[in-house]
């Protein structure tokens, strides 16, 4: 008689095969980032070099910038693991093992891709520090963070150190800075100054919509190209790394809401909603950050609600709040709500939309509808028409 | 998402190991052990130690809800009452019977001459006296399903066998196709049902082939194919596919009874020859077995004898790094000592080396919610269970879990999530204490 090992059912696990483990998911995610990295290098390095506006080393710089972002995140995690582990387990082998299941490279790379090219390296490292150490490790490491680490780092830079970036060259690369027509920092920044919403003021200075689609406009290193990120999106969904639900609903809802906002302002042509989804890093945020599994709802219904709320907030920040980069802010705000959304949509889902969930359903959709209506009316300058009603009702 | 129908996903069946092997009959073990504990109710022995018993003789009675007879599976002498391992992972008492290799039959076993005139009550009574239970793994007494007062119109035989590795039902059907149809037609009479359905997986076209030969004799019986997904063998999944209707607790609500294919085959023997449930098919398989096989053996046979017949474990198998699984790999249980007994609820034994890995934490991919056949959210249930939030567990319907194991199966981070959900379900059953 032999004594066998204990174990828990099921005894078949997809994670026992290499091709389905979390490590493979993360590897596929990195492969999904690759086209974006290459595009960032092409647009800000190779193209500038070929136009004669950069020397050989300056051509390689965008690539270095991204690699430094990734490596400094991993390095900071290693230091964190070193100082938090017991004295006798501070061995390189053990720390390497922890690093291999912490995936620090990814937030660093994503952060670098969001920043403009001439961001000083120390600012990038500061962002990595805020993202990985404050945003992730303090919360308990991979799988426990509330905020998207890369976005938290980005937000810290955005609100604290934007002046440093602007002084160092802002959003333009060496070629773009030579074009006189580029007035605002990014195409969306033009929008907040121009309530007229005409094609000539917001799109024409940067070329045509095709340029927006390809991503040949000023902006963060890798977040400008709709086309390239679509390619990444197709790869990531085909490999089942991310679900299509969030990006498709997010971008789709922004498209529709922008169209309505445009129509209310007398701008019914299709270029406006298209322009709205091609700019501001919307697709980058939708594909790489709104799908980040740890900080977003986990069940399909939760993902739908999450994506709709993101769209409403983005419209609100963009057209009402004078915050042109509404995408990052909306995702960070919604990260806080991911947990309650997950909880209540789970209850709705597992009760098959029957009785016990009416109240939660009403709350979730109530918030969604009120915010959405408010955003659209306000942005469409229709809000003033309704103020008397609110005053009668004593709401405001 | 709104019109929620039960669902499943395709998983690698790994049935090829034992699928095309014939059913090996092995009817002379030296000892058999008849468990004195079954899933429902205690069992009282009615024989003395030293008493001679015959094949099919009633040796114990199950009492209380689900009362029925338990029979000797061989002829010989009762030698002891011993504690043996049960597929539930516990040690239970069992009657040890030593084989005299004479194979004397009990007087009650004789061909039934007036099958055509049997009434519904008589058939249900035969079901009860034969000790027939659901042989798909649950071990629920079959006759209780037939006591329903509701009008039954369809009896479904479940020949799906969706658990990976297991092939005993499949090879049993290929060996006795006509008995399956006969058993089903008797079951239809026992339920007063008009329609009979045999449900099987669409890639098992061999089942269709062997059954079609006899089908013209049974005009009320239809064949039905289900997709190759797990858990397609789950009662509710099959019934929803066959009838297009759903129910909340019991299939009889919509006039359906569902039985395992092996139960149907054995029921045909019960009706025609009065042979009670004394033998059953079992698969011994897995990467750790030298020559996996499908057996047809008396209930109570030692699994170790069957493993020996398979040539033992593969060379170099380290038991410390292998699982010895009672039942299917998705819902079965790890048995620590390889000293298991074939009980009526044991469909197979799988020996399989374990696989180690450096697994990260839950990354929150939500795949467990996607695959759940009853639309639960395992991550939320696990969280509520760890925080002991009973009300939230109730709202999350943790008690609806069917314990299929898919959430752990699909998890890329190897989280023991289905274990947490099952424990949450138990917690709710016990009223949150």
| CA A236 – CA A33 distance, rounded (Å) | 9
3-state secondary structure of A3: strand
Set of chain B residues whose Cβ sits within 8 Å of the Cβ of A307:
none
Do residue B371 and residue B261 come from a single domain? Answer: no
Say which of B335, B355, B406 has its CB closest to residue A4: B335
Q: Is B375–A2 a contact, with Cβ atoms under 8 angstroms apart? A: no
Q: Is B320–A11 a contact, with Cβ atoms under 8 angstroms apart? A: no
Set of chain A residues whose Cβ sits within 8 Å of the Cβ of B389:
none
| CA A193 – CA A322 distance, rounded (Å) | 9
Chain B: residue nearest A344 by CA?
A: B396
**Neighbouring-strand partners of residue A17:** none
At a CB cut-off of 8 Å and minimum separation 6, what does B206 contact?
A: B174
Position A190 scores a pLDDT of 56
Q: What is the ipTM of this complex?
A: 0.82
Do residue B128 and residue B268 come from a single domain? Answer: yes
Position B2 scores a pLDDT of 45
Whether B424 maps to a domain, the answer reads yes
Set of chain B residues whose Cβ sits within 8 Å of the Cβ of A4:
319-320, 322-324, 334-338, 351
Q: What is the dihedral of CA A341, A344, A350, A354, to 10 degrees?
A: -130
Confidence at A56, pLDDT banded by 50, 70, 90: confident
Confidence at A307, pLDDT banded by 50, 70, 90: very high
**What pLDDT, in 10s, does the model give residues B175-215?**
999 999 999 999 999 999 999 999 999 888 999 999 999 99
Task: Choose among A323, A316, A276: nearest CA to A286.
Answer: A276
Position B231 scores a pLDDT of 87
Set of chain B residues whose Cβ sits within 8 Å of the Cβ of A16:
355, 357, 414
pTM: 0.84
Q: Is B412–A350 a contact, with Cβ atoms under 8 angstroms apart? A: no
Separation in Å, CA of A352 to nearest CA in chain B: 7
Chain A: residue nearest B327 by CA?
A: A9
| CA B14 – CA B299 distance, rounded (Å) | 26
- Helices (H) then strands (E): counts for chain A: 19, 0
Whether B329 maps to a domain, the answer reads no
Residue ending a domain, among B273, B297, B313, is B273
Whether B162 maps to a domain, the answer reads yes
Do residue B115 and residue B256 come from a single domain? Answer: yes
Structure tokens at A94: 């053990």
Set of chain B residues whose Cβ sits within 8 Å of the Cβ of A97:
358
**What pLDDT, in 10s, does the model give residues A343-378?**
888 888 877 666 656 777 777 778 878 877 777 777
Position A185 scores a pLDDT of 55
Whether B157 maps to a domain, the answer reads yes
- Among A7-16, A199-208, B380-389, name the most confident range: B380-389
Pick among B363, B367, B394 to test the A interface (most A CBs inside 10 A): B363
Mean pLDDT value of segment B139-159 = 89
Whether B249 maps to a domain, the answer reads yes
**What pLDDT, in 10s, does the model give residues B299-318?**
999 999 999 989 989 988 88
Residues 264-323 of B with CB under 8 A from A: 304, 319-323
Whether B51 maps to a domain, the answer reads no
Q: Would the pLDDT of B338 be above 60?
A: yes
Q: Is B412 on the interface with A (CB under 8 A)?
A: yes
Q: Long-range contacts of range A70-75, CB-CB < 8 Å, 24 or more positions apart?
A: A70/A104, A70/A105, A70/A106, A70/A108, A70/A109, A70/A112, A71/A105, A71/A108, A72/A108, A72/A124, A72/A125, A72/A128, A73/A104, A73/A105, A73/A107, A73/A108, A73/A111, A73/A128, A73/A131, A73/A132, A74/A99, A74/A104, A74/A105, A74/A108
**What pLDDT, in 10s, does the model give residues B403-430?**
899 999 999 888 999 999 999 998 888 8
CB B276 within 8 A of CB B129: yes
Chain A: residue nearest B352 by CA?
A: A11
Q: Into how many domains does chain B fold?
A: 2
Chain A: residue nearest B353 by CA?
A: A5
3-state secondary structure of A214: helix
- Tally Cβ neighbours within 10 Å of residue B28: 12
Share the mean pLDDT of chain B: 88
Confidence at A216, pLDDT banded by 50, 70, 90: confident
Residue ending a domain, among B273, B296, B328, is B273
CATH of the domain at B148: 3.40.50.11540
| CA A174 – CA A171 distance, rounded (Å) | 10
Q: Would the pLDDT of B51 be above 70?
A: yes
| CA A217 – CA A213 distance, rounded (Å) | 9
Q: What is the dihedral of CA A370, A375, A378, A381, to 10 degrees?
A: -120
Set of chain A residues whose Cβ sits within 8 Å of the Cβ of B392:
343
Q: Would the pLDDT of B298 be above 70?
A: yes
Mean pLDDT value of segment B379-397 = 89
| CA B207 – CA A395 distance, rounded (Å) | 69
Q: Would the pLDDT of B401 be above 60?
A: yes
CB B232 within 8 A of CB B226: yes
Q: Phi and psi (nearest 5°) for A100? A: -70, -20
**What pLDDT, in 10s, does the model give residues A254-296?**
999 888 888 877 777 888 888 888 888 899 999 999 998 889 9
**What pLDDT, in 10s, does the model give residues B60-105?**
888 777 788 889 999 999 998 888 888 777 788 888 999 988 888 8
Position A383 scores a pLDDT of 53
Q: Is A13–B362 a contact, with Cβ atoms under 8 angstroms apart? A: no
Domain residue limits at B386 = 367-429
Position B431 scores a pLDDT of 74
Q: Is B361–A144 a contact, with Cβ atoms under 8 angstroms apart? A: yes
Residues B341-357 as b or e (16 or more Cβ within 10 Å = b): bbbbbbbbbbbbbbeee
Position B5 scores a pLDDT of 75
Position A128 scores a pLDDT of 93
Say which of B164, B338, B355 has its CB closest to residue A16: B355
Do residue B260 and residue B119 come from a single domain? Answer: yes
Mean pLDDT value of segment A59-67 = 92
3-state secondary structure chain B: CCCCCCCCECCCCCHHHCCCCCEEECCCCCEEEEECECCCCEEEECCCCCCEECECCEEEEECCCCCEEEECCCCEEEEEEEEEECCCCCEEEEEEEEECCCCCECCCCCCCCCHHHCCHHHHHHHHHHCCCECCCCCCCEHHHHHCCCCCCCEEEEECCCCCCCCCHHHHHHHHCHHHHHHHHHHHHHHHCCCEEEEEEECCCHHHHHHHHCCHHHCCCEEEEEECCCECCCCHHHHHHHHHCCCCCCCHHHHCEEEEEHHHHHHHHHHHHHCCCCCEEEEEEECCCECCCEEEEEECCCEHHHHHHHCCCECCCCCHHHEEEEECCCCCCEECCECCEECCCCCCEEEEEECCCCCCCCCCCCCHHHHHCCCCCCHHHHHHHHHCCCHHHHHHCCHHHCCCCCHHHHHCCCCCCHHHHHHHHHHHHHCCCC
**What pLDDT, in 10s, does the model give residues A36-48?**
999 999 988 888 8
Position B343 scores a pLDDT of 86
Residues B224-247 as b or e (16 or more Cβ within 10 Å = b): bbbebbbbbbbbbbbbbbbbeeeb
* SS percent in chain A: helix, strand, coil, step 5: 70, 0, 30
* DSSP states along A19-82: GGSHHHHHHHHHHHHHHHHHHHHIIIIIHHHHTTSS-HHHHHHHHHHHHHHHHHHHHHHHHHHH
Chain B: residue nearest A339 by CA?
A: B380
Structure tokens at A131: 């993202």
Q: Is A296 on the interface with B (CB under 8 A)?
A: yes
Q: Would the pLDDT of A390 be above 50?
A: no
| CA B269 – CA B56 distance, rounded (Å) | 12
Share the mean pLDDT of chain A: 82
3-state secondary structure B301-351: CEHHHHHHHCCCECCCCCHHHEEEEECCCCCCEECCECCEECCCCCCEEEE
Distance from first CA to last CA of chain B, Å, rounded?
Answer: 33
Chain A: residue nearest B165 by CA?
A: A12
Q: Phi and psi (nearest 5°) for A387? A: -55, -45
**What pLDDT, in 10s, does the model give residues A67-114?**
999 999 999 999 998 888 887 778 888 888 888 888 889 999 999 999
3-state secondary structure of A127: helix
Mean pLDDT value of segment B290-295 = 91
Whether B69 maps to a domain, the answer reads no
Residue ending a domain, among B225, B253, B273, is B273
| CA B173 – CA A23 distance, rounded (Å) | 43
At a CB cut-off of 8 Å and minimum separation 6, what does B321 contact?
A: A5, B353, B354, B356
Task: Choose among A187, A202, A240, A179: nearest CA to A48.
Answer: A179
**B231 preceded by a cis bond (ω within 30 of 0):** yes
Q: Lowest-confidence range among A56-60, A325-329, B158-162?
A: A325-329
**Neighbouring-strand partners of residue B25:** B296
Whether B134 maps to a domain, the answer reads yes
CB B268 within 8 A of CB B290: no
Do residue B139 and residue B269 come from a single domain? Answer: yes
Confidence at A192, pLDDT banded by 50, 70, 90: low
In the block, residue with structure tokens 């506006």 = A53
State what percent of residues in chain A have pLDDT above 90: 28
């Amino acid at each position: 008689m032999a004594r066998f090992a204990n174990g828990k059912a099921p005894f078949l696990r997809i994670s026992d095969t290499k091709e389905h483990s979390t490590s493979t998911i993360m590897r596929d995610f990195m492969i999904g980032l690759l086209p974006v990295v290459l595009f960032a290098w092409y647009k800000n390095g190779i193209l500038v070099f070929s136009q004669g506006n950069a020397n050989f080393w300056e051509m390689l710089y965008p690539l270095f910038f991204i690699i430094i972002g990734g490596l400094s995140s991993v390095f900071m995690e290693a230091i964190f693991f070193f100082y938090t582990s017991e004295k006798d387990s501070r061995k390189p082998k053990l720390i390497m093992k922890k690093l291999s299941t912490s995936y620090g490279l990814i937030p660093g790379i994503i952060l670098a891709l969001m920043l403009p090219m001439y961001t000083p390296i120390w600012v990038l490292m500061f962002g990595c520090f805020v993202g990985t150490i404050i945003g992730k490790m303090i919360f308990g490491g991979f799988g426990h963070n509330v905020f998207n680490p890369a976005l938290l780092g980005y937000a810290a830079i955005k609100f604290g150190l934007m002046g440093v970036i602007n002084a160092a060259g802002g959003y333009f690369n060496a070629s773009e800075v030579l074009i006189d027509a580029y007035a605002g920092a990014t195409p969306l920044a033009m929008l907040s100054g121009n309530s007229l919403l005409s094609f000539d003021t917001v799109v024409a200075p940067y070329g045509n919509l095709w340029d927006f689609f390809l991503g040949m406009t000023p902006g963060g290193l890798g977040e400008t190209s709709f086309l390239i990120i679509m390619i990444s999106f197709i790869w990531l969904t085909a490999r089942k790394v991310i679900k299509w639900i969030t990006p498709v609903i997010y971008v789709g809802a922004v498209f529709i809401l922008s169209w309505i906002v445009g129509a209310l302002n007398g701008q019914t042509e299709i270029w406006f909603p298209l322009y709205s989804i091609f700019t501001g890093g919307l697709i980058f945020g939708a594909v790489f950050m709104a799908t980040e599994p740890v900080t977003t709802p986990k069940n399909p219904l939760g993902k739908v609600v999450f994506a709709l709320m993101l769209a409403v907030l983005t419209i609100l920040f963009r057209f009402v709040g004078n915050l042109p980069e509404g995408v990052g802010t909306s995702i960070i705000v919604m990260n806080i709500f991911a947990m309650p959304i997950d909880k209540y949509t789970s209850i709705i889902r597992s009760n098959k939309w029957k009785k016990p969930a009416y109240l939660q359903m009403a709350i979730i959709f109530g918030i969604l509808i009120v915010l959405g209506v408010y955003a659209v009316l306000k942005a469409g300058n229709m809000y003033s028409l309704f103020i008397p009603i609110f005053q009668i009702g004593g709401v405001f | 998402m709104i019109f929620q129908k039960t669902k499943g996903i395709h998983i690698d069946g790994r049935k090829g190991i034992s699928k095309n092997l014939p059913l090996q009959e092995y009817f002379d073990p030296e000892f058999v052990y008849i468990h004195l504990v079954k899933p429902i109710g205690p069992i009282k022995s009615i024989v003395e130690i030293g008493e001679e018993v015959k094949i099919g003789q009633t040796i114990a009675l199950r009492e209380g809800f689900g009362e029925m007879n338990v029979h000797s599976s061989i002829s010989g002498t009762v030698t002891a009452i011993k504690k043996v391992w049960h597929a539930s992972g516990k040690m239970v008492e069992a009657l040890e019977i030593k084989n005299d290799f004479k194979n004397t039959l009990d007087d009650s076993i004789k061909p039934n001459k007036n099958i055509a005139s049997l009434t519904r009550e008589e058939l249900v009574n035969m079901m009860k006296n034969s000790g027939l239970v659901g042989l798909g793994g649950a071990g629920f007494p079959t006759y209780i399903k037939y006591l329903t007062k509701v009008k039954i119109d369809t009896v479904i035989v479940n020949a799906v066998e969706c658990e990976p590795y297991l092939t005993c039902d499949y090879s049993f059907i290929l060996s006795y196709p006509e008995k399956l149809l006969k058993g089903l037609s008797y079951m239809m009479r026992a339920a007063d049902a008009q329609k009979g359905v045999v449900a099987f997986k669409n890639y098992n076209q061999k089942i269709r082939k062997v059954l079609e030969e006899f089908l013209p004799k049974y005009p009320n019986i239809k064949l039905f194919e289900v997709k190759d997904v797990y858990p397609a063998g789950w009662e509710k999944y099959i019934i929803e596919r066959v009838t297009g209707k759903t129910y909340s607790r019991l299939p009889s609500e919509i006039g359906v009874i569902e039985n395992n294919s092996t139960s149907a085959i054995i029921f045909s023997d019960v009706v025609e020859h009065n042979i009670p449930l004394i033998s059953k098919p079992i698969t011994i398989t897995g990467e750790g077995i030298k020559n996996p096989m499908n057996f047809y053996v008396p209930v109570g046979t030692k699994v170790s004898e069957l493993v020996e017949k398979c040539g033992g474990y593969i060379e170099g198998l380290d038991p410390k790094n292998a699982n010895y699984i009672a039942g299917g790999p998705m819902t079965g249980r790890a048995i620590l000592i390889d000293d298991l007994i074939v009980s009526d609820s044991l469909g197979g034994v799988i020996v399989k080396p374990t696989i180690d890995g450096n697994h990260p934490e839950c990354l929150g991919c939500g795949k467990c919610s996607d695959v759940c056949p009853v639309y639960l959210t395992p991550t939320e249930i696990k969280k509520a269970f760890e925080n002991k939030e009973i009300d939230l567990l109730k709202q999350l319907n943790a008690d609806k879990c069917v314990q299929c194991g898919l959430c752990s199966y699909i998890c890329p981070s190897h989280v023991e999530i289905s274990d947490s959900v099952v424990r949450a379900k138990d917690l709710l059953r016990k009223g949150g204490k």
